[in-house]
Chain A
Amino acid sequence: DMKVTQMPRYLIKRMGENVLLECGQDMSHETMYWYRQDPGLGLQLIYISYDVDSNSEGDIPKGYRVSRKKREHFSLILDSAKTNQTSVYFCASRSGTGGYEQYFGPGTRLTVL
């Protein structure tokens, strides 16, 4: 059963705290993504990872960094979170060998107070 998991599902942090969002997939997909979703703005791409330690900025990378040390695991890190980073964050994965479909996780709702 192909699956993308995200932890935690809900998180409340104070401004200035560090945030770690975790994503896992069991499909051995090479490519993984982090998006944020805000009302009316659709899905905005933060980072793409093409494989272990091969990451590229997306459209809105400022204030975020990522880590991919294992193919099945992709982390999003917010160093010193800001209130405007309150959002729902989605991780997705996709096979690099010709498959086009992206599989999304259930999302993490982050609130920064």
Chain B
Amino acid sequence: QQQVRQSSQSLTVWEGETAILNCSYENSAFDYFPWYQQFPGEGPALLIAIRSVSDKKEDGRFTIFFNKREKNLSLHIKDSQPGDSATYFCAAMSSNNRIFFGDGTQLVVKP
């Protein structure tokens, strides 16, 4: 059973729009939810993360909205830029060192 699910394999938005990437998870014990950004030919890099005690985390144009009751979260990218085109991985973790990744959403921002 997949622990973390991302609802879209791909998403295309126009420059300036808000991109919304959705994610859900299975295990109520997860308490840390990072989003990783990956450009072609590179390893994933941490973009932004939220703890389960919060319902929102903002960092510049990137915001995570978290719903613990529904076990889902979303990444909002405001004012999307072509340079944001990348694959975004939602992940979930508890304290046992295991991190579970979703399959990724490939975002394309058209100029």
Contacts and interface: CB of A to CB of B under 8 A. Distances in A.
Contacts of B44: 43, 90, 104
A96 B45 contact: no
A104 B45 contact: yes
By size class, the interface of chain B is 20 to 34
Interface residues of A, number: 20
Contacts of B49: 100-101
Given A31-B97, A43-B89, A94-B97, A102 B103 contact: no
A96 B45 CA distance: 18
Contacts of B86: none
Contacts of B103: 40-42
B60 to A, nearest CB: 18
Contacts of B98: 45, 48
A24 interface: no
B46 interface: yes
A96 B97 contact: yes
Interface in B26-75: 32, 34, 36, 41-46, 49
Sorted from nearest, which 4 A-B pairs have the closest CB atoms?
A: A104-B43, A42-B103, A43-B101, A100-B32
